[in-house]
Amino acid sequence: MAARYGRPMVERHVEFLRYPELRAWLDALAARRPDLVELSVYGRSREGRDLVLATVTDPATGAHDTKPAHWVDASIHAVELTATVAACALLEHLVSGADDDPTVRRAVRTRTFYVVPRVNPDGAEWVLADEPRFPRSATRPWPETDGHRWPGLEAHDIDGDGRLLQMRLADPDGAWTSHPDDERLMIPLPAAGIDDGPRYRLLREGSVADHDGFTIPTPPPVAGLDLNRNYPAGWGTKVPGGGDHPLSEPEIDALARAMAARPNICGFNAFHTSGGVLLRPSSTRADDALPPGDVWAWKQLAERGTELTGYPAHSVFEDFTWDRSDTMSGASDDWAYEHLGVFGWTTEFWDIVEHATGTKQSTHFWYTGPSDDEALAVLRWCDEHHPDGFVDWYPFEHPVLGPVELGGWNGLTTWTNPPVHLRAAEVAGHAEFAVHQALCAPELAIRHVHVEPLGDDTWRIDVGLANLGWLPTDVTALARRDGLVRPVVVELVGDGVEILDGAARRRVGQLEGRAAMRFRGRNDGTPDRALESFVVRAPAGAVVELTAAHDRAGRDRTTVVLQRDALS
C-alpha cells in the first residue's frame, strides 16, 4: 500500500497516524498475519469512532481466552502519540518475531496479547488536525457541559501554521527574561528581579475572549476531561478531570468492560508520555501499605524492565507525588491492581532532558519543569538534532492583544514526544518487556495422571496439576487476600463413566508459582502443584477426559483410557 513520504505501510507506525491511517495500518497487519492477529471493535468513542482491539496469539494452540494474557493500551491522553507508536511496535514485534525469535514464538503459542493502539481517538484527531488543538484527553465539554467559554486565554493554533507554540508579550512586569547565553530562550526572572534587560509575559498560543485591556485570565480548558482519572480506583469529585462519575466516558466504560470480559488477563501496561520511566501503583498509598510480596514482585519485574528499556522504575506515590495530601487517583494502573488484582505499569516514554544532558529529569519535573541549565541544554540539543523543536520568535498581530511574538517550544515533538527519527529507538525494548511480563504469568498444566484399578470395573484416577509460571495462579497477593480470582478447577467426564466419590467438577484452589520458592529457605516443597483423585465406575477401555482450567492460568486437557498399567 502506498503511503505518504514514500514509506511502506509496514514502517509507518513510527509516524503520528491519523485515525483512518492507523486503521489502514492495523488492517494491513492483520491481513499479513491472519493466523496470529484478529481485530475487533470493543466500543465507540464519543464522536463515533470504533475503538479497536488487536488480539495476538497462535490459535493452533488454543483460543485466545484459554491462555494467560497481557493487556497493553495506549494514547489515553491526546498529545501522547508516541504511546500509539509503541503499541504498534509491540504488534510488529509479535508478528515478526513469531517466525524468527524463539522467545516471541513461545509467547504467542502459550500466551495472548490484547493491544489497544489508541484508547482516545477523538483527542488524537484534535491534535493531528491541520489547525491543532491540544485537549488533555477527551474532547467533550467538561465540567461546563454546555461548552461555555469563560473570559481569558484559549490555546489553539491562532495563525493556522499547523503548530501550537507559545506567545510572548513584552511586559515590564513580566516574569520571564532572555537567557544570558541565548536570547531566544525564556527563563524565569531571579527571585530578587533584575535591574535591566527585557521582560516578557509568556502564554500559550491562542485567542483571548472578552479581554478587559489589562488582565489575561487562564480559565480551565473547555475540554477539561482526563480519561485517566475516570477509572473507579480512587475516583472522587475532587479529582481534576475525573468526569461525572466513574466510567462516565464511553472510551473508559468500553475499555473497562473489555478487560473485565477477559479474566485471563494477568498483566497490564498503559503507554503514555513523557518522562522516560516505568511507573507502578500505588498512586495513593505508600509501599508499606501494600502487600510486601506484591511490592517485591513488582521490583523483580522492574529489574528486567530497566535492563530491556533503560527506563528506571518508580512508585507513583513514593517518588512522583508532589503533595501527598493531594494524590493522583482514578488511573488505569491503580484500577488494574486494586480491582482486577494484576500488576500494572504506566510507561512514560521520552525524556528529552536526559537526551540533552545525560542525566534523568527530576521525578518532580511534571510540577517544576526544567532548570535554566536543562532548558538551555535542550535548546542546543534541538539546534543540532531537531531544528523544528524550537521556533525562532516571529512577530504576529494578535486580533485582541495586538503585536506579540509567536515561537518558542514546539512542545508536541520536544517535551512531550520525540521527533520522528528517534521514535523507533525510543520504544525499542518495551515490546520485549511486554513479552517478558507475559511469560511470567501463571500457566496451568496437567503434569501427571495415574490410573489404578480397584476391581469390579472401579478405578481411581489421580490427576496432578502444576503451575508452570513464575507468578501464582491468582497473580497478586492482593487478589488472593480480596478473593478476586476464582480457583483452579479440574473436571472429569466420560461416556458411561460414573463418579463414585463426589462431583465431576472440583475446586482445587490457587497454586503458587516459581516466585514463591524464593521465600521457602531453599526447601521448595510443591506449593505449585495439586493432586486430585476421582473414584469412578466404568468398563475397561472406557475413555475419560480430564480438564484443568483457571481464569488466568489457562487450561489443559488430556484423555485417558481406563486399563491396567495406565500410567503417565
Q: Same structural domain for residues 102 and 207? A: no
What cell was used for 483? 478473593
Residue 5: the pLDDT is 37
Asked whether residue 147 is domain-assigned, the answer is no
Omega before 274 within 30 of 0, i.e. cis: yes
Residue 344: the pLDDT is 95
The SS3 call for residue 75 is: coil
Asked whether residue 137 is domain-assigned, the answer is no
Asked whether residue 312 is domain-assigned, the answer is yes
The per-residue DSSP string of 216-279 comes to ---PPPSB---GGG-SSTT--TTSTT--SSTT-SHHHHHHHHHHHT-TTEEEEEEEEESSSEEE
Helix boundaries (H) for 386-460:
420-427, 430-439
Cell 502487600, located at residue: 291
Residue 4: the pLDDT is 38
Q: Same structural domain for residues 288 and 318? A: yes
Q: Same structural domain for residues 236 and 249? A: yes
Report how far residue 441's alpha carbon sits from residue 520's, in angstroms, rounded to the nearest whole number: 20
Q: Same structural domain for residues 27 and 76? A: yes
Q: Same structural domain for residues 26 and 112? A: yes
Q: Same structural domain for residues 468 and 408? A: no
344: left (phi over 0), alpha (psi -120 to 50) or beta: beta
pTM for the full predicted model: 0.95
Q: Same structural domain for residues 318 and 231? A: yes
Sheet holding 313-315, edge to edge: 37-44, 50-56, 112-116, 69-74, 265-273, 343-349, 277-280, 313-315
CATH assignment of the domain containing 38: 3.40.630.10
Residues 6+ apart with CB under 8 A from 219: 149, 150, 151, 152, 153
Residue of 169, 165, 56, 176 lying closest to 108 (CA atoms): 56
Q: Same structural domain for residues 275 and 306? A: yes
pLDDT mean by block of 10 residues, the chain; 568 residues: 42 88 97 97 98 98 97 98 98 96 98 98 96 93 91 95 96 95 96 91 96 95 94 90 96 98 98 97 95 98 98 95 83 96 97 97 92 97 97 98 97 96 96 98 98 96 98 98 97 96 97 96 96 97 97 97 70
What single-letter DSSP state applies at residue 470?
A: S
- Overall domain count for the chain: 3
Asked whether residue 462 is domain-assigned, the answer is yes
**Contact (CB, 8 A) for 285 and 317:** yes
CATH assignment of the domain containing 518: 2.60.40.10
Helix boundaries (H) for 460-512:
477-481
Asked whether residue 568 is domain-assigned, the answer is no
Which residue type does 351 have?
D
Q: Same structural domain for residues 448 and 478? A: yes
Residue 11: the pLDDT is 66
The SS3 call for residue 302 is: helix
Q: Same structural domain for residues 301 and 207? A: no
Asked whether residue 172 is domain-assigned, the answer is yes
Task: Give the structural domain span for 199.
Answer: 152-221+353-413
Q: Same structural domain for residues 396 and 291? A: no
Report how far residue 380's alpha carbon sits from residue 360's, in angstroms, rounded to the nearest whole number: 17
